[in-house]
Structure formats: C-alpha cells, structure tokens
A and B are shown apart, each in its own frame.
Chain A
Amino acid sequence: MQHILLTAGSDVDVMVHGLFKYSYFGHEVWITTTHVSLLFVMLILIAFSIIAGQAIKKGAEVPGNFQNVVELIVEKLDGMVEGTMGRNAVKYRNYIGTIFIFILFSNISGLLGLRPPTADYGVTFPLGVITFTLVRFNQFKYHKPKEIWADMCSPLPPWLPIWFPINVISELAVPISLSLRLFANILSGTIMMTLVYGLLKWVATIWPAALHVYFDLFSGAIQTYVFCMLTMTYVSNAIGEEE
C-alpha cells in the first residue's frame, strides 16, 4: 500500500502500480494507484458539491461567506465559457465547468502526496476523445455533408481531394495532442517532485513547497485552462458562424 503515496517509497519511482488484481470474465483487471487517486479526487468533489448544493438550496438574499465562494466559482467558470463560445455557451458551460474542476483537482492532488490521476495516459486520453466526439457531433449537426467534404478538401476545390488524407490526419491528431499535452506536463511535474524527494532524502524537508507551488498549482492550473480553452475553441469552430 505504500505505492499510493508518491513520497513514501524510499527510491525514485514514478510508474503506475497495480494494487489489487481481479479476475473479470477471464480478464485480469488491476486496481492501480490512478484509481485510488481518482477515488480521493471524486470524494472531495462529491463532498464539496453536496455541501455547496445544500448551501445554495437554502441560500439567503444576502449571501454568506460560503455561498459567496460557490457563486464566485460558478460565475467565473460561466464567464470563461461565455467569453470564448459566445452565444453557444449555454449548452456547454455545464460540461466545461465540470471538466475544469475535475482536471484542476486531479492536477493539484499532487499536493496531497498522491500520484496525480492525470499523469496516467488512460485518464487524459478519454478526455481528448470526448472533445473529439463533441467536435465531430457538432460538425455533423450544424453543417451539411457537402460543406464538410469541401472543408476537408480545404485548400483545393472539392472535386480534387488530394488534401483529404492530410486533413484527416490533422483532425485525428487533435485528441492525441490535447491529451498528450496535459499528460506530459503533469507527468514531468510528478517526475521532478519524485526526483527531489527520492534523491535528496532528508535535505528535502520544507523548501520543496515552493516547487509544489510551481509544478502542481501553477502548471496544473495553466494546463487545465489550456485544455478547457482548446476544447471550447474546437467546438465553437465546429459549430461555425451560421444559424
């Protein structure tokens, strides 16, 4: 069980570890450190949302401290989505706000000594795939097939689809680059922190807190912002100007 905490091991070790093994219809299913970290993040988020929901339900006309904080969070998230997506924001602010809070808490869970869940490619790739699905769905919802074909052959006229394979590859690169960006940033921060704690032993007592501020808080917040921003940009590009 010492693998759950990043700093508990005596040597430098940044890999994902399997903790429990289950046999499930003939397949080996491992419960890894990522699952445990995700469980902690989910518990924190669920507890916070239940408390915030109670506070809003019996909300006062003049909000108290906690209600103020909750309203501020929601207002800031909605403002971010509205600033980027404009009039399409109403449909997407729930989703963007959700993944923003989830990715943010996953990134800064390194502060608790956990291995951040987003330092596992199995967590970030599904997020990229969700963005990709949203983009494709909106493209087919708001555009005719002829327009999509003309768009995919874009620099050349639609009857000459030489650029079509290249455009397909560049579209497929979207979820991969989105997820790899988040994954590699958080993983590099995790490796740096593990090296500091694993190699310096007792020398690393109080001052690594400054490194935590950079690698966990700053880098994690920036990458969260970038992921949500790029998702919103791709989706509003897919929706387009018309309607």
Chain B
Amino acid sequence: MEFNREFILGCSAIGAGLAVIAGIGPGVGQGIAAGHAAAAVGRNPGAKSSITSTMLLGQAVAETTGLYGLLVAILLLFVKPLLWGLN
C-alpha cells in the first residue's frame, strides 16, 4: 500500500473530527453538575458562593477528558504527526 500526502491529511482531518466527539461526555457531566448546583442554590441560597466555586472546580476537572480529545484533534490538525513517516 502506498499513501500520499493528501490521503494522510484527509485521514488526519477525519480523525480530528472523531476525536472531538469526546466532548459529549464532559458536556453531559458539566450539565449534571450545573443542574445539581442550581438545585442546591434553590434549597440553600445562603451558600451560593461556596456552591458556585465547588461547581466550577468540579466542572473544570470533568472537562479534562474532553480537553484530551481536543488535544488529539489539535495535534492531528496542526502538528500532523502522521506525515512524519513519509520522509
């Protein structure tokens, strides 16, 4: 099998598109966290500031997996590691 540059670039673009599907999980997780935080504020409005900071911390940690997918996509699109095998 012979691969030329264009074929590899196209496959890299497809792979980058597939990699950012990882964003679904953190989206659902962040939504759940925000919903529960809203419920908690409704139950106890006095603790709003600490609930908000806890929610933001948890959301940022949950975001990490999505960012790994984003990172893979960025590497595929801008660093193009699959082209290194060509020459």
Contact = CB atoms under 8 A, between A and B. Distances in A.
B67 A180 contact: yes
Contacts of A225: 53, 56-57
Contacts of B57: 225-226, 229-230
Interface in B16-72: 53, 56-57, 60-61, 63-64, 67-68, 70-71
Interface in A221-236: 222-223, 225-226, 229-230
Contacts of A191: 74
A14 B68 contact: no
A220 B70 CA distance: 17
A188 B78 contact: no
Given A15-B78, A191-B74, A184 B60 contact: no
B70 A188 contact: yes
Contacts of B63: 181, 185
Nearest to A177: B64
User: Is the contact region of chain B dominated by helix, strand, or loop, or is it mixed?
Assistant: helix
A185 B63 CA distance: 9
Interface in A126-161: none
Contacts of A180: 64, 67-68, 71
A108 interface: no
A128 to B, nearest CB: 13
A114 interface: no
Given A14-B78, A15-B78, A188 B67 contact: yes
Interface of A: 14-15, 177, 180-181, 184-185, 187-188, 191, 222-223, 225-226, 229-230
Given A185-B67, A187-B74, 11 more contacts: A184-B67, A184-B70, A188-B70, A188-B74, A191-B74, A222-B60, A223-B60, A226-B57, A226-B60, A226-B61, A230-B61
